[in-house]
Structure 1
Amino acid sequence: MSLLDTVLGMCGLNNQTSQEVKGLLEWVEQQGGLHTIVDHLQSGEYSEIVNSWLGDQQNVALSSDLVQKMINSEAIEQLASRMGINTGDALNLLVKYLPQLVDKASSAGTVDKKTDLTSLVSQLVH
């Protein structure tokens, strides 16, 4: 059992939520880490949205259509494949968790490159 599995179990998550979070966190690492995703999104037309997740104001919510514009289709397909789900469900996972993940992993408006995603799990799901 991996450290991530242990932490997810300690958080008392149901199996579906645990698998969603685990799959998403593994995908984030596959993309180069959360800081890489944030840097990419901030450099484009979505900087205001991402900055809401990084700052103290309320997070701007996402929609499936917006995520599809923000994240390249290959990356979304990688998430779907990793999770064994269709791309629509993968989009829904990103809608649900990406703003929260960035919000919980950031401090002073930035995401630390050394952020331990495993330690964020309990914050993300509660």
Structure 2
Amino acid sequence: MGLLDGALGQVAGSLLNGQGGAQGGDAAQAMLGGLLQQFGGGSGSSQGLLAAAMTLVQQQGGLEAIVQKLQSGGLGDVVQSWVGTGANAPVTGAQLQDALGGDVLQSVATQAGVSPEAAGTGLASVLPELVNQLTPGGSLPANSGDLLKSVMGMLNR
């Protein structure tokens, strides 16, 4: 874990410390550190896909909105597994494209600097874990939008 991991953990910690004390900050640091270690520690494209996935969640109206959109797009059981406390069910890029509609994968590909096919594969890997990490108790947290905005602000610096 590097300098970026620490900075993101501090942002998350400060956001949650106001609502949940030091333990909330520790949980946020662990969540962000896990995401960055899993997806951000590799190539520039994996870091780009993580940032693109976070941006996608924001652009779709936040965590609750993207979960609802995926559920209404036929991925209800799959998405519920990401939110729940069990294992994450797999999803394909094509399923995400069908559920989200439009040219979402093209937008993610452009932002991440990869092909649409790579964006679909990457998003199918990153999005379930992102949703999983943002819902550690098996439910949608009230402050997920604030956390995503702050994390994206740090990633864009």
Both proteins in one fold, TM over 0.5: yes
**Matching residue of 2:62:** 33
Native 8 Å contact 1:23 1:83 kept in 2? yes
Deviation at 1:15, TM superposition (A): 4.5
Aligned to 1:7: 8
Q: Specify which of 113, 126, 130 is matched with residue 84 of structure 1.
A: 113
Distance 2:80 2:99 in 1: 14
Encode CA deviations 1:24-55: one digit per residue, 9 max, x unaligned. Answer: 22232222222211111123421111111111
**1:2-26 Cα deviation digits (max 9, x unpaired):** x88x439x85724423232223222
1:106–1:112 contact (8 Å) kept in structure 2: yes
- Code of the residue aligned with 1:43 in structure 2: it is S
Question: Structure 1's 7 and 77: CA in aligned 2 closer, same or farther, altered over 3 A?
Answer: same
Please, which moves more after superposition, 14-23 or 48-57?
A: 14-23
Q: Tell me, yes or no, if the aligned pair for 2:72 and 2:99 is still in contact at 8 Å.
A: no
Runs of 4+ in 1 over 6 A off after TM superposition: none
Q: Is the 8 A contact 1:33 1:113 kept in 2?
A: no
Distance in 2, Cα, partners of 1:73 & 1:87: 13
RMSD, aligned CA: 2.9
How far the C-alpha of 1:64 sits from its partner, in A, is 2.6
Deviation (angstroms), 1:83: 1.9
| Residue of structure 2 equivalent to 1:70 | 99
| Count of matched residue positions in the alignment of Structure 1 and Structure 2 | 116
Q: Percent identity?
A: 25
Q: CA deviation at 1:108?
A: 4.5
Q: Hey, what does 2:130 align to over in structure 1?
A: 101
Please point out which of 11, 17, 23 is paired with 2:52.
Answer: 23
- Kindly indicate which of the two structures has a greater share of residues assigned to helix: 2
Per the alignment, residue 57 of structure 1 pairs with 86
- Cα distance in 2 for partners of 1:71, 1:59 equals 19
| More contact order relative to length (CA 8 Å, sep ≥ 6) | 1
Unmatched segments (≥5 aa) in structure 2: 10-32, 153-157
